[in-house]
Structure 1
Amino acid sequence: MDQSRSAVDRLLVDASGRRPRADARRNVERLVEAARIAVAEVGVGVSAHEIARRAGVGVGTFYRRIPALDVLLTAVLDEILDEIMDLADQALEDQDPWNGFRGFAGAYVRLRAESCGVSEALGGACEEALAQRLEDLRGRIRCLVERARASRAIRSDVTWQDVAFLLAAAATGERTLGVQAGAQQWERNLQVILDGLRPTRPAAPAG
């Protein structure tokens, strides 16, 4: 699949090469926008009826424009994962490995915390359909971590797999032990994690 195409373009691919009618494209654009919001709020279990309702179209229009619900969800998640990988590529271009890693980590955890569907997809939902995207993302996270570790910005005993689990853990649920998380709890979690990833430095001698 061409990673440069948007979700809308992927859904409008026509083997004949014909351009879709303007009204068809508008409906697909509305469905994609509605699906992105619904996936964030509801998760990958959202129904075609719910997406159609949010897009302001009938379910008949949904199925005239979209081959199947899973096709739409895969296209939307592909697009979002492409955006995450673009952020990782930008981070890898940062001359400061720690600054690049930290910036990516913040964007990645924010997205996991704010989008129920993305968090589910990164946790294994739709894994078969997103297998290549997930493999590509693993590779980028590995490069970011190993680059920062080689520069001694991250502890030498920390693996990229450790970091993958830690970043997932930072995107906390809304409640634990009866305590309600604040809106920015994920930022506090991430800062504790980032502090813990840094190499320990010997304490300054007393006196």
Structure 2
Amino acid sequence: MSRTATAVERLLQDGSGRRPRADARRNVERLVIAAREAASDGGEITAHEIARRAGVGVGTFYRRVGSLEVLLQAVLSELLDEIVAAADLGLADPDPWAALCRFAGSYIRLRNELCDVNEALGGIIDHERTVLRDRIRLLVERAQAAGAMRTDVTWQDVAFLMVSTSTGDRTLGLRAGDLQWERNLQIVLDGLRTDDPNPLPGGPPQLPPSQI
């Protein structure tokens, strides 16, 4: 499988074929890292905030990446590629259950960044969702076929369950632990392996008719 371009590589492509100057590349690398950090910790995703985190001036920001939208689109593509790559790595793993567990952790971590960047762009993800759905379905089906996971849970349920583990910082006056979402995920994964589960109420999540 061919390697996809990173966000930095996408941003440095100008069609000339010339190799970018070292200082230009360093500034772009800093801006990409800063944008991803802002998304991962829930910070403000603006040109000024990203430039501040990157340690560069706003003028350098616009000179190197053109606009906030261009930067975020490159970061969004990189995040989507990383999620798909994590799924493909899992599909190549001979242990289907270990593969699903490892992917779930990677997916939640990357999805938090993905959602914040996508929201800042106004929600542009569309066909990429189909790719991600297919990967999750295949990972779940492999784990079920191997007898490692309860079969009354659908891949659609798993998509919701993974997202549900990523919680807020506080509830009922309690403060989340430093590894709270990892703890939540482990509880969910253990529940998916239950040998004698209770019947599930209702039906699994469904796609809107327009997307079927």
Aligned residues: 196
TM (norm. structure 2) is 0.81
Q: Is the 8 A contact 2:7 2:78 kept in 1?
A: yes
Shift of 1:176: 1.3
Deviations 1:141-165 (A, max 9, x none): 1110111122222222211111011
Q: Is the 8 A contact 2:108 2:166 kept in 1?
A: yes
The question of 1:166 aligning with 2:161 is answered yes
Describe the shift of the 1:153–1:34 C-alpha distance in structure 2 as closer, same or farther (beyond 3 A): same
**Paired-residue identity, %:** 60
| 1:36 paired residue number | 36
Shift of 1:139: 1.5
Shift of 1:109: 2.8
Shift of 1:183: 1.0
| 1:60 paired residue number | 59
Q: Secondary structure at the match of 1:131?
A: coil
Higher relative contact order (CA 8 A, sep 6+): 1
CA distance in 1, matches of 2:125, 2:17: 26
Q: Is the 8 A contact 2:79 2:110 kept in 1?
A: no
* More moved, 18-27 vs 173-182: 18-27
Shift of 1:7: 0.6
The question of 1:153 aligning with 2:148 is answered yes
* More moved, 163-172 vs 96-105: 96-105
Kindly provide the amino acid, as one letter, of the partner of residue 105 in structure 2: G
CA distance in 2, matches of 1:129, 1:142: 23
Deviations 1:99-125 (A, max 9, x none): 11112112323445xx5x334358x66
Kindly provide the amino acid, as one letter, of the partner of residue 118 in structure 1: L
The alignment's C-alpha RMSD in Å is 2.4
| 1:13 paired residue number | 13
Q: Is the 8 A contact 1:3 1:82 kept in 2?
A: no
Q: Is the 8 A contact 1:78 1:130 kept in 2?
A: no
The question of 1:176 aligning with 2:175 is answered no
Describe the shift of the 1:174–1:32 C-alpha distance in structure 2 as closer, same or farther (beyond 3 A): same
Moved over 6 A (4+): none
Describe the shift of the 1:101–1:77 C-alpha distance in structure 2 as closer, same or farther (beyond 3 A): same
| 2:114 paired residue number | 118
Q: Is the 8 A contact 1:32 1:72 kept in 2?
A: yes
* More moved, 192-201 vs 94-103: 192-201
CA distance in 2, matches of 1:176, 1:12: 44
Shift of 1:77: 2.5
Which sections of structure 2, spanning at least 5 residues, go unmatched?
A: 198-212
TM (norm. structure 1) is 0.83
Which sections of structure 1, spanning at least 5 residues, go unmatched?
A: 203-207
Kindly provide the amino acid, as one letter, of the partner of residue 169 in structure 1: S
